[in-house]
Amino acid sequence: MLDIKLIRTNPELVKENIKKKFQDQKLVLVDEVIALDTEFRAAKTRADELRGQRNAISKEIGGYMAKGMKEEAEKTKEKVAAIGKELADLEIREAELEVLIKDRMLVIPNIIDDSVPIGKDDSENVEVQKYGEPVVPNFEVPYHVEIMEKLKGIDLESARKTSGNGFYYLRGDIARLHSGILSYARDFMIDRGFEYYIPPFMIRSEVVTGVMSFTEMENMMYKIEGEDLYLIGTSEHSMIGKFIDTLMEEEELPQALTSYSPCFRKEVGAHGIEERGVYRIHQFEKQEMVVVCQPEESPMWFDKLYNNTIDFFRSLDIPVRALECCSGDLADLKVKSIDVEAWSPRQQKYFEVGSCSNLGDAQARRLGIRVRNKEQGNYFAHTLNNTVVAPPRMLIAFLENNLREDGSIYIPEPLRMYVGGKEYLK
Q: What is the DSSP secondary-structure string of 332-372?
A: TT-SEEEEEEEEETTTTEEEEEEEEEE-TTHHHHHHTEEEE
Mean pLDDT computed over every residue of the chain: 92
**Does the structure show a pLDDT above 60 at 269?**
no
Question: DSSP readout, 134-154?
Answer: ----SSPPPPHHHHHHHTT-E
Q: What angle do CA 333, 339, 342 make, to 5 degrees?
A: 155
CB-count exposure of residue 296 (10 Å: 0-12, 13-18, 19+) = exposed
- Helix 27-66 to helix 70-105 angle, to the nearest 10 degrees? 160
Report residue 66's pLDDT band, with 50, 70 and 90 as the boundaries.
Answer: low
**Does the structure show a pLDDT above 60 at 21?**
yes
* 287 close to 371: Cβ distance less than 8 angstroms: no
* 258 close to 388: Cβ distance less than 8 angstroms: yes
Instruction: State the average pLDDT over residues 388-392.
Output: 91
**% of residues, the chain, pLDDT over 70:** 95
Question: Rounded CA gap, 194 and 396, in Å?
Answer: 27
Which residue type is seen at 140? Answer: E
pLDDT at 272 (0 to 100): 42
Question: Rounded CA gap, 392 and 407, in Å?
Answer: 19
Structural class in CATH, domain 4-105: mainly alpha
pLDDT at 271 (0 to 100): 46
The conformation of residue 403, written as its DSSP 8-state character, comes to B
Cα radius of gyration rounded to whole Å, the chain: 28
**Does the structure show a pLDDT above 50 at 353?**
yes
The conformation of residue 192, written as its DSSP 8-state character, comes to T
pLDDT at 61 (0 to 100): 67
**Does the structure show a pLDDT above 60 at 274?**
no
Range 122-425 has CATH code 3.30.930.10:
yes
Nearest to 78 by CA among 62, 48, 54, 59: 54
* 221 close to 231: Cβ distance less than 8 angstroms: yes
Question: DSSP readout, 90-106?
Answer: HHHHHHHHHHHHHHHHT
pLDDT per residue over 88-123, tens digit each? 999 999 999 999 999 999 999 999 999 999 999 999
Report residue 85's pLDDT band, with 50, 70 and 90 as the boundaries.
Answer: confident
Q: How far is the first Cα of the chain from the last one, in angstroms, to the nearest whole number?
A: 52
Domain regions of the chain by residue span:
4-105, 122-425
**% of residues, the chain, pLDDT over 90:** 80
Helix (H, G, I), strand (E, B) or coil at 422: coil
**Does the structure show a pLDDT above 80 at 67?**
no
Instruction: State the average pLDDT over residues 174-187.
Output: 97
Cis check: omega of the bond before 254, within 30 degrees of 0? yes
Question: Rounded CA gap, 322 and 244, in Å?
Answer: 31
pLDDT per residue over 296-325, tens digit each? 999 999 999 999 999 999 999 999 999 999
Nearest to 274 by CA among 346, 215, 216: 346
Question: Rounded CA gap, 74 and 115, in Å?
Answer: 68
**Does the structure show a pLDDT above 60 at 275?**
no
Instruction: State the average pLDDT over residues 66-72.
Output: 71
